[in-house]
Amino acid sequence: MSLPRIGVIASHRMIEDTFPAQITGSNNLESVATVAKALPLIIPALAETREISSLLDVCDGFLLPGGRANVHPSYYGAEPGPAYEPYDENRDEIALELTRACVETGTPILGVCRGLQEMNVAFGGALHPEIRDIPGRMNHRMPKNEPNLDVIFQLRHGVRLSPDGKFAEQFGAEVIRVNSLHGQGILTPGNRVEIEGYAEDGTPEAISIRDAPGFALGVQWHAEYRTAENPVNRKLFEAFGDAARTHHAARHP
């Protein structure tokens, strides 16, 4: 059987502050290829590629990876301002519509960091621009001026999972440890968003979409880092790949 194809949504980035580019991290592609065992296809977040039905025809699943930009606050009724910046509105348009379409059609979708936030907003949820400003919350941002990736992506806090949820079933545990590289986070969950995991300070870290006919999960941590070596991240991407294979087989009997 041919490999399932997983679309990885890219983000806008200026290279050397001069050249516009559509990029995604190599870790995202390697996690899809080596752990999910699928063919990663980079989907540029451009207005010209916002043809959701065509994307669904081509791909057997989608990864919404992390990104430097934040979901534009107008999507959840907040007033735009410096605290919410920067933005990538082309990605917003594709990711939010694609999320809803994937859930409707049963196409597997996995959101990571910004991807979790996109899934939440797609179903009517809201975000807070700076989680560490909420009383009682820790600083979830990556360490500044740190060149060592293992330090940047080190496991920084625990996550307690719902004992009867999809994540606890997949991981075989109710408490896991994860990295933390985000400023924004879920303020209020969307109307179909089930929060299945919370950090020690109460920050939502793992979500599923209620009554989704297919795989539809999001995590706030960067599960794409050292995926093959980290048992939690490996199980997540393996399950994502299995779901994409099942979807591929159903579409191409």
**What H or E segment, with its residue span, contains residue 15?**
strand 11-15
Tens-binned pLDDT, residue by residue, of the chain (253 aa): 689 999 999 999 999 989 999 999 999 999 999 999 999 999 999 988 889 999 999 999 999 999 999 999 999 999 999 999 999 999 999 999 999 999 999 999 999 999 999 999 999 999 999 999 999 999 999 998 899 999 999 999 999 999 999 999 999 999 999 999 999 999 999 999 999 999 999 999 999 999 999 999 999 999 999 999 999 999 999 999 999 999 999 998 8
**Torsion, Cα of 65, 233, 225, 43 (10° steps):** -30
**pLDDT given at position 48:** 87
Residue 112 half-sphere exposure toward CB, CA atoms < 13 A: 31
Which segments within 96-250 are labelled E, that is strand?
Answer: 109-112, 126-128, 157-161, 175-178, 185-188, 193-199, 204-209, 216-219
Domain 5-251: which topology?
Rossmann fold (3.40.50)
SS3 content of the chain, % helix, strand, coil (to 5): 35, 25, 40
**pLDDT given at position 120:** 98
Tokens 């200026």 label which residue? Answer: 14
**pLDDT given at position 49:** 86
- Answer for the pair 206, 217: CB distance below 8 angstroms, yes or no: yes
Please give, one letter per residue, the 3-state secondary structure of 80-91: CCHHHCCECHHH
Tokens 């669904």 label which residue? Answer: 56
Catalytic residues: 113, 222, 224
Using a 10 angstrom Cβ sphere, with 0-12 exposed, 13-18 middle and 19 or more buried, the burial of residue 144 is exposed
**pLDDT given at position 252:** 87
- Answer for the pair 63, 236: CB distance below 8 angstroms, yes or no: no
Q: Show me where the domains of the chain are located.
A: 5-251
Residue 113 half-sphere exposure toward CB, CA atoms < 13 A: 23
**pLDDT given at position 1:** 62
In three-state secondary structure terms, 34 is helix
